[in-house]
Amino acid sequence: MLSPQLGPVRAALPGSAAPTLAASDALPWLERGPDATEDTCGMRAEDSKGFFPDRSWRVSCYWQTTRYYGFDGDFAERAQAVNDALVAVGWQESDGAVSKAIRYFEQTHGNGLDASRVPPVAYGKYVGEQSWTATLSWAEAGQVPPGFRTRPTSEGYVRREAVTVDGEQVHRDLTSRHQFVLVLSVSARYFERTIED
């Protein structure tokens, strides 16, 4: 059972993500689609060391919100604009990832590959003591990419609360009006502890 002291921590997570979501919402050419959220705690065995090791378990809790957008226009300009909006609210892009993603798109688009093959772009920052991650990924009208296909829920959670969406339906809906789909995921690890047997 998780400590009741985590209640206020969990309650504050949407507020911490709000500036990032507002920054993307403010781009007028993005049509906002639905949101999905997930709050999960899972447990895994730690690597054992020593001749007679004690068994230990790592309990980790993550919160994530994912927002979908439809858009049109020049992919490179749009991807750069989203990047600039995230950097403006404190995210640090990892090692020129946006430039690499744009270059990949420009080199492969039109050769039978669509925007879903563009490598995702990851960002990181700390909010207080919490490690946060933002990820951008894309899709395009046409075949539904694997990330949008409905998958069965994984087993083994200590606790899970989720508001899910039908990814295939989201893809169909947004690409009925737009060429591209942007997927913005914002997540935080808000609890981690090792438990010894």
Per-residue tens of pLDDT for the chain, all 197 residues? 456 677 888 889 999 999 999 999 999 999 999 999 999 988 776 565 555 555 667 788 899 999 999 999 999 999 999 999 999 999 998 778 999 999 999 999 888 788 999 999 999 998 888 889 999 999 999 888 877 875 545 556 667 888 999 999 999 999 999 999 999 999 999 888 877 65
Beta 56-71 vs 180-196: how paired, if at all?
Answer: antiparallel
Q: What is the pLDDT of residue 95?
A: 78
Strand locations in the chain (E)? 31-45, 56-71, 92-93, 121-127, 130-140, 157-163, 180-196
Given this model, what pLDDT does residue 94 score?
A: 79
With tokens 């998780």, the residue in question is: 2
CA atoms within 13 A on the CB side of 26: 14
Distance CA 117, CA 119 (A): 6
Token look-up 């892009």 returns 93
Q: What is the value of pTM for the model shown?
A: 0.86
The predicted structure's pLDDT at residue 143: 81
pLDDT at 91: 95
Could you tell me which of 120, 122, 105, 107 has the C-alpha nearest to residue 179? 105
CB 37, CB 165: distance < 8 Å = no
Q: What is the pLDDT of residue 152?
A: 47
Write down the pLDDT at residue 55: 63
Whole-number pLDDT of residue 98: 93
Q: What share of the chain is helix, strand, coil (3-state, %, to 5)?
A: 30, 40, 30
pLDDT of the residue at 29: 98
